[in-house]
Structure 1
Amino acid sequence: MSPHDQFGNFAGSAETHGTPADVIAPLPRVSIQAFCETPEIARLIEQATGDRRMEKAHVKVQMGGGLAASEAYRNAPTPNVIVIEGDAHRERLLETLDRLSDVCDSDTKVVVIGQVNDVLLYRELMRLGVSDYLVPPLGVVDLVRSLSEIFRAPGADPVGRTIAFVGAKGGVGASTVAHNAAWAMARQLKLDTVVVDLDLAFGTAGLNFNQDPPQGVAEVVFAPDRLDAALVDRLLSKCTEQLSLLAAPATLDRVYDFHEDVFDPLLDILRSNVPCAVLDVPHLWTAWSKRALIAADEVVLVASPDLANLRNAKNLIDLLKTARPNDAPAKLVLNQVSMPKRAEIKATEFAKALDVEPSAIIGFDPQLFGTAANNGQMLAETSPSHKVNDTFLDLAKRLTGKIEAKRSKRNLLDPLMARIPWKKAG
């Protein structure tokens, strides 16, 4: 097949595609924001949101093109996918992408709808990191296929990451930290997030989110032969528009002794379908809990500043370093700091002993945390203006990569811009 034919399969109308529409994979739970220049493209994207394969995606359509996108994300995290409508001028399109690269998060995918069916331009945009370049005439199926292939094509990066929270000791508030961080990911960073309560006997996620679902994570582990993405989707309890829960049964009518890889299929499904899966791992040491921590993309260790926590935290950090030599080290959250009348290790000394800089330090506030727990609310619901909410937002950004947020530019853009005559003349 010639390069032009390959490009035609990306940029042509629905009739140019050889793949039937019914084999397009559904999109995962991702956020998509489109910035259009013309009403026609805006209508096309609106129509695409009604396609059955777009059911789980959160789509927002607005006008203004690339300039509006650059302004919108100057002080806000970018979604999973940005769709930009460009015009027929190659230089303006590249300049638009140049501006967008200044404010675009590193893991955001960009799809460009242009007006020039140019193989060389297509190849250059691919080298810049653009995920796809589409040219009218364009149908709903073309757009849905393009968005689907970003996530479902062979070799595509995983949609999301798993983030495991565990306490260095029982009672240090690891579940509370996990749930509030997940809330910040979903509500403030606009990332679809699933909380998985792995404490099947005593889990509190259902209580904290004021949910009492009849099914949850137990159905996943006790019926492994039935497990697939559709089953997981049916078991999710919706907490907010972009936050869902796989609750623990929290009953003692059976014991929960599992094989070490019992949760592997579930985590694979979540990684392929949800941007953020927050694992609330109980404070116990079994083959499956150890494996859940080692297999997670990020590990957050929650500790209170006393000697037992220090010992346990060091043991966990050392084990994870050995078991995950090519991964980022576990992140440390110090919780319940400055509890009255308690002798505690200073946060700086605690961190120094572990050779880990705390990602968050949360003060002891029994009134706020107790009220939220008893009301089945997150801290941001109980006290929206409390400064602890900023701490959880910052932690959520660190865990999702948004703390690096704005890139200086896509590095590969500079050499291309340098070859354009108008750029050199300036």
Structure 2
Amino acid sequence: MTNVQDTPHQDQDLSEQIAPVPRISLQAFCETADLAEVIAEAAEDRRMDKAHLRVQMGGAPAAAEAYRSSPTPNVVILETVGRRNEILDHLDELAEVCDATTKVIVIGQVNDIVLYRELVARGVSDYLIGPIGVLDVVRTVSSLYAAPGTKPVGRVIAVIGAKGGVGASTIAHNLGWAISRDIGVDTCIADMDLPFGTGGLDFNQDPPQGIADAVFSPDRVDTAFIDRLLSRCSDNLSLLAAPATLERVYDIGPDAFDPLIDILRATIPAIILDLPHGWTAWSKRALTNADEILVVAAPDLANLRNAKNMMDLLRASRPNDSAPRYLLNQIGVAKRPEIKPVDFAKALEADPVSVIAFEPQLFGTAANNGQMIAEMEPGHKVSGQFTELALAMTGRHDTRKTRQGLLAPLTPLLEKLTQRRKKA
């Protein structure tokens, strides 16, 4: 029994990890317009993208009547505002026409453990006590298909440039490196720019297989197959390299990357999607379905326009997720007129998550050597910025600073002890 009265929709944690719902059919029978509206909004959530949901009015009686002449879906959501006996009577009526494999979620107003036990005895999958929010619906449906004891799903971070040539791939690769090295989380970078991807060059890798093998062989995609495609860059970092060849035209469908991303999400804690600049059905889908989004922009007018268009669309299409973030890159080019970060923030209604200066010598040498910035100059300011970016995009805290903060009051005493040991 789930009581969600104390967790209204607007106060829920938008960063929590909820597994995507598989390709199932759902039907909801509501008694109040408020719940019908909430469930209709849940149907638009990115995690419900594969599910087919229909909302009807009439509650449990309408459901029992509907299924007398039509097959039941995978999941039925029932709202009831009656008392215990009425709820149980309606469920008994529904059981006569409902398929045994159909999962039933009941949403009611009665907070009663005896009622909950009766519902469980009748095969009800979950009982929610209203009022509920959009994420409560998504979370409950998702939990029906999440295997018990499985690890939390991985966090998918999509990185895309507001314009070509702004260094989005460089940011994505250094971000993945920082997550794996500084946070110690197993990370995979998926280079999704099939014809022109630079992941192999940036990490000095030339694997015989890569991401294209998964995209063009969806029937073979499973955990073992993906493991064979991964190229190991470090202990905690793997790369799915793009072929970066023009032997074929990469016209792919909107869901071409879905099987791959589903496997990565289920097996790897952090996934970086290095998206090419462009607007296709599959790139939009990958962005919309990601857990976190980072738009990389340079300080000019075209970048400002494109970044605003992207962020406005993504905010509107992902109302139940954390807002997309943006990063300003290549700041401070000599003699180039630039739009100031404060003006970007005003237009995009958000501050940049990071502002990275134009460092052609540093970034150029790293790219030519097939190295990351932290490998080239670990003490450089930019290297620290990538660490901070990794913490921000993964929702982590810098434990190193916390430990230093805890030891700060002891610093004078430690210095005195050190001096005494030296004298001794």
Judge same fold: TM > 0.5, yes or no. yes
* Candidates 241, 249, 271, aligned match of 2:243: 249
Q: 1:346 aligns with which of 322, 340, 346?
A: 340
Q: Does 2:329 match 1:335?
A: yes
- Between Structure 1 and Structure 2, whose CA radius of gyration is higher? 2
Aligned residues: CA RMSD:
1.6
C-alpha distance in 1 between matches for 2:314 and 2:147:
32
SS of alignment partner, residue 308 of structure 1: helix
Instruction: Give percent identity, aligned residues only.
Output: 61
Task: Give 2:238's aligned amino acid.
Answer: S
| Contact 1:394 1:403 (C-alpha < 8 Å) held by counterparts | no
Which residue of the partner structure matches residue 313 of structure 1? 307
Q: Output the CA distance in 2 between the equivalents of 1:249 and 1:404.
A: 36
1:274-293 map, 5 Å:
274-293=268-287
Query: How far apart are residue 405 of structure 1 and its match?
Result: 6.5
Pairwise mapping of residues 65-214 of structure 1 onto structure 2 (< 5 A)? 153-154=147-148, 156=150, 158-214=152-208
Q: Does 1:226 align with 2:220?
A: yes
Which letter maps to 1:254?
R
| Structure 1 residues 265-414: aligned runs within 5 Å | 265-403=259-397
| 1:168-199 alpha-carbon deviations (Å, 9 max, x no partner) | 00000000000001000011110000000000
Q: Distance in 2 between matches of 1:286 and 1:237?
A: 27
Look up the match of 2:82: none
Q: CA deviation at 1:383?
A: 1.1
CA 210–404 in structure 1, closer or farther in 2 if over 3 Å, else same = closer
Q: Is the 8 A contact 1:179 1:195 kept in 2?
A: yes
The separation in 2 between residues aligned to 1:173 and 1:374, in whole angstroms, is 14
Structure 1 residue 259: Cα displacement: 0.7
3-state SS of paired residue (1:240): coil
Gaps of 5+ in 1: 1-151, 409-426
Change (3 A) 1:324 1:405: farther
Letter paired with 2:311:
I
CA-to-partner distance for each residue in 1:97-121, whole Å, 9 max, x for gaps? xxxxxxxxxxxxxxxxxxxxxxxxx
- 1:265 Cα offset (Å): 1.0
SS in 1 for 2:239: strand
Task: Output the CA distance in 2 between the equivalents of 1:270 and 1:216.
Answer: 14
Note the C-alpha offset of 1:154: 2.6
Contact 1:158 1:271 in 2 (8 A): no
Structure 1 CA distance for aligned equivalents of residues 227 and 318 of structure 2: 30
1:377 Cα deviation after fit: 0.4
* Equivalent residue pairs, number: 256
- What is the TM-score when the length of structure 1 is the normalising length? 0.59
Instruction: Indicate conservation of the 8 Å contact 1:162/1:276, yes or no.
Output: yes
* 2-structure distance, mates of 1:359, 1:365: 19
Q: Structure 2 CA distance, aligned partners of 1:248 and 1:255?
A: 14
Structure 2 counterpart of 1:239, one-letter code: C
With a CA cutoff of 8 Å and minimum separation of 6, indicate the structure with the bigger relative contact order: 1
Q: Deviations over 1:101-147 (max 9, x none)?
A: xxxxxxxxxxxxxxxxxxxxxxxxxxxxxxxxxxxxxxxxxxxxxxx
User: How far did residue 157 of structure 1 move?
Assistant: 6.0
C-alpha separation between the residues in 1 aligned to 2:149 and 2:309?
Answer: 36
Displacement of 1:362 in angstroms is 0.2
Instruction: Output the amino acid matched with 2:353.
Output: S
**CA deviation string 1:339-388 (max 9, x = no partner):** 11100000111111100111111000000000000000000111111111
SS in 1 for 2:327: strand
Structure 2: how far apart are the matches of 1:253 and 1:370?
A: 28
Provide the C-alpha distance between the structure 2 equivalents of 1:157 and 1:356, rounded to a whole number of angstroms.
33
Pair 157,329 (structure 1): closer, same or farther in 2 beyond 3 Å:
farther
How far is 1:304 from its partner? 0.5
Tell me the distance in 1 between the aligned counterparts of 2:221 and 2:399: 35
The alignment partner of 1:293 has SS state of: helix
In the alignment, what sits opposite 1:31?
none
Change in CA separation of 1:183 and 1:404 when aligned onto 2, cut-off 3 Å: closer
Q: Residues of 2 paired with 1:403 and 1:163: CA distance?
A: 17
Query: For 2:365 and 2:399, how far apart are their aligned partners in 1?
Result: 33
- The two structures have a TM-score, normalised by structure 2, of 0.59
What is the CA–CA distance in structure 1 between the aligned matches of 2:207 and 2:376, rounded to whole Å? 23
**Alpha-carbon separation, structure 2, partners of 1:277 and 1:231:** 17
Letter of the 1:225 partner, please give it: D
* Amino acid paired to 2:296: V
1:331 deviates by 0.9
Q: Could you list the runs of 4 or more consecutive aligned residues of structure 1 that deviate by over 2 angstroms after TM superposition?
A: 152-159, 403-406
Alignment match, 1:238: 232
Q: Distance in 2 between matches of 1:265 and 1:155?
A: 22
Which amino acid letter does the alignment assign opposite residue 400 of structure 1? T
Give 1:234's aligned amino acid.
R
Contact 1:196 1:279 in 2 (8 A): yes
The answer for the alignment partner of 1:147 in structure 2 is none
Greater shift in the superposed pair: 396-405 or 163-172: 396-405
SS at match of 2:233: strand
Cα separation, partners in 2 of 1:224 and 1:331, compared to 1, 3 Å? same
1:158 to partner: Cα distance: 3.0
Give secondary structure in 2 for the equivalent of 1:312: helix
What is the distance in 2 between the residues matched to 1:312 and 1:403? 31
SS of the equivalent of 1:299 reads strand
d(CA) in 2 for partners of 1:166, 1:349: 21
Q: Quote the residue 1:11 is aligned against.
A: none
Q: 2: CA distance between counterparts of 1:338 and 1:161?
A: 33
